[in-house]
């Protein structure tokens, strides 16, 4: 009977060793997957930072363009007012010269 018991013990040990090996493999795969996720997350964060900077640059460009547009509108309005003023002065001069 002792050989049977010894065989069962060895089989049990073998089974336990296989389970341990499978567990270690699963842990290693899990660790690798976690490392991969962390790496992807860091890359995503870096890309997000880059996109935020590009967006900030574009916002600054748009703000500058809007300021230039506003300045152009103000200049156009000023020029239109001066033209109207000169037209009025020229009209008055024309009427005065005609009256003389």
Q: How far apart are CA 75 and CA 70, in angstroms?
A: 9
- The percentage of the chain sitting over the pLDDT mark of 70, rounded to a whole number, equals 96
Mean pLDDT of the chain: 91
3-state secondary structure (DSSP) of residue 100: coil
C-alpha distances (whole Å) from 98 to each of 86, 91, 94 are: 18, 11, 6
Q: How far apart are CA 89 and CA 16, in angstroms?
A: 107
Pull the structure tokens for residue 83.
């033209």
- State mean pLDDT over 60-85: 97
Quick check: 66 pLDDT over 50?
yes
Q: How far apart are CA 86 and CA 73, in angstroms?
A: 20
Pull the structure tokens for residue 80.
């239109």
**Could you tell me the pLDDT band of residue 96, with boundaries at 50, 70 and 90?**
confident
pLDDT tens-place string over residues 71-83? 999 999 999 999 9
Q: How far apart are the first and last CA of the chain?
A: 146
pLDDT tens-place string over residues 16-35? 899 999 999 999 999 999 99
């Amino acid at each position: 009977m002792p050989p049977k018991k010894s065989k069962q013990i060895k089989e049990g040990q073998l089974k336990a060793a296989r389970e341990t090996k499978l567990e270690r493999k699963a842990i290693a795969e899990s660790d690798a997957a976690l490392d991969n996720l962390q790496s992807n997350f860091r890359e995503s964060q870096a890309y997000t930072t880059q996109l935020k900077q590009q967006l900030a640059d574009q916002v600054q460009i748009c703000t500058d363009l809007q300021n230039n547009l506003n300045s152009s509108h103000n200049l156009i309005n000023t020029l239109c007012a001066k033209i109207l003023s000169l037209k009025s002065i020229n009209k008055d001069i024309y009427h005065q010269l005609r009256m003389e």
